Amino acid sequence: MDWIEVTLKVDGEAAEAAAELLQRYGHQGVVIEQDDIPPETWDDGEAQPPQRLTLRAYFPADDRAEAARLQIETGLSYLNMMYPMPAPSYAVVKEADWAEAWKAHYHPVRVGRRLYIRPVWRDDPAEPGEISIALDPGMAFGTGTHPTTQLCLEALEDRVKPGSRVLDLGCGSGILAIAAARLGAASVLALDTDPIAVASAQQNIAHNGVAAVVTAQQGSLETVITSPRRFDLLVANILARTIIAMCAQRLGDVVRPEGTGLFSGIIHDQADEVEAALRQTGLLPIARRQQSDWVLIEARRPGDDD
C-alpha cells in the first residue's frame, strides 16, 4: 500500500493544535521533528531548543485519501482564524520505502544521565554505564528525539524503582516501556489503540530482550480501568486534550495510592488546564519538567494516610 505524507512546519505555539488535527486523520499518531538541529549535536544530547517543529502524518493513498485531505485543510482553515497556520505539503510514500525514510531522520541520542537511544540499523556502542535501547519505530510514534519523549525518559530515570509496576498508555514504538524495564521495573503493561503500533512495540521489546517484563497489547484506559490492576507508575505521552478527556474517565484510579503519574505531550500554555483535570481525577500535581515549549507534569495519588 502507498501512503500520503502530509507535512506541516509550525512553531511551538501552533504545534499542539495542529498535531491534534493531524492525529484525527493520520493512520498512526503524528511524527514531530525538531528543526534546525546542528548535525554535530546529534550524538551528544547538546542540541538547543528548536524554534520550529515539523509535523508529519500519514493516511492511506486509497479512495478515501481525497476526503482526508479535504478534512485536514478544512480543519487548518478553522485553526487559521485563531493562529496563523502554514499550508500543508503532500507526498506519496511507498510502504516498502518507509524504513529508508526513517533512516534519513533518525539518529542516536543520549537522554538524561544514562539512556542511549539508537536505531537498530546502527551499531554505535554505548558508553560504560549507559543503558542502550535499540529501536525500529516502523510506522509507530516514538524515537526518543522529540522533547515530549525525552522528558518522559528523564522522569522515568528518576521515578522507576526496582520492582515497580508500570503502565504505558499510548506506547507507540514501545520506547518508554522498554526504558522502564531496563531501569528496573518488575512489570510493564504497554497499551496502544493501533495494532500497527502494538506490533512495532512487540518487535522492539523482543529485540531489547525485555519480553519477560513488558507486555504490549492493543488497548486503552478502558482496558485497565475495569480490572483490579493498579500501578506504581503511569506514563502517558499523548496530547493534552486526550489526557483531560481520560481524567473524566477515572484515569487516576489506575494509579495505586502513593503511586505517580507522568503526563507529557503538553504545550506549556495548557499545563494549568491539565493539572486542574488531574486534580479532579484524584492525582495531585507535584512537579513540572520543561523542554522548549513542552511540559511534563508529575502527579501523585495521595496515600491512605495523607
CATH number of the domain where residue 15 is located: 3.30.70.120
3-class state of residue 34 by DSSP: strand
How many other β-carbons are positioned within 10 Å of the β-carbon of residue 72?
23
Query: What is the reported pLDDT for 48?
Result: 47
Question: How many domains is the chain built from?
Answer: 2
Full-model pTM: 0.75
| Phi and psi angles of residue 271, each rounded to the nearest 5 degrees, phi first | -65, -40
Rounded Cα distance, 174 and 29, in Å: 13
Contacts of 8 (CB under 8 A, 6+ apart): 18, 22, 54, 55, 76, 85, 86, 88
In a domain, 116, yes or no: no
149 and 257, same domain (yes or no): yes
* pLDDT tens by residue, the chain, 306 residues: 788 888 888 876 677 778 777 877 766 567 777 655 444 443 444 444 445 788 888 878 888 888 888 888 888 888 888 778 888 889 888 766 655 665 666 678 889 999 999 888 878 888 899 999 998 866 556 667 778 889 999 999 999 999 999 999 999 889 999 999 999 999 999 999 888 789 889 999 999 999 999 999 999 999 999 888 999 999 999 888 899 999 999 999 999 999 999 999 888 888 999 999 999 999 999 999 998 778 999 999 998 766
165 and 283, same domain (yes or no): yes
82 and 143, same domain (yes or no): no
In a domain, 130, yes or no: no
| Phi and psi angles of residue 259, each rounded to the nearest 5 degrees, phi first | -85, 175
In a domain, 37, yes or no: yes
184 and 282, same domain (yes or no): yes
Query: What is the reported pLDDT for 98?
Result: 58
What is the residue range of 15's domain?
Answer: 2-101
Query: What is the reported pLDDT for 46?
Result: 46
Residue with cell 512553531: 11
69 and 181, same domain (yes or no): no
**Amino acid letter, residue 41:** T
3-class state of residue 121 by DSSP: coil
Q: What is the CATH number of the domain that holds 237?
A: 3.40.50.150
In a domain, 115, yes or no: no
Query: What is the reported pLDDT for 85?
Result: 85
- Please say whether the beta carbons of 177 and 200 come within 8 A: no
In a domain, 61, yes or no: yes
Last residue within a domain, chosen from 101, 124, 154: 101
Query: What residues pair up with 119 in beta bridges, in sequence order?
Result: 135
Nearest to 15, CA basis, from 48, 52, 69: 52
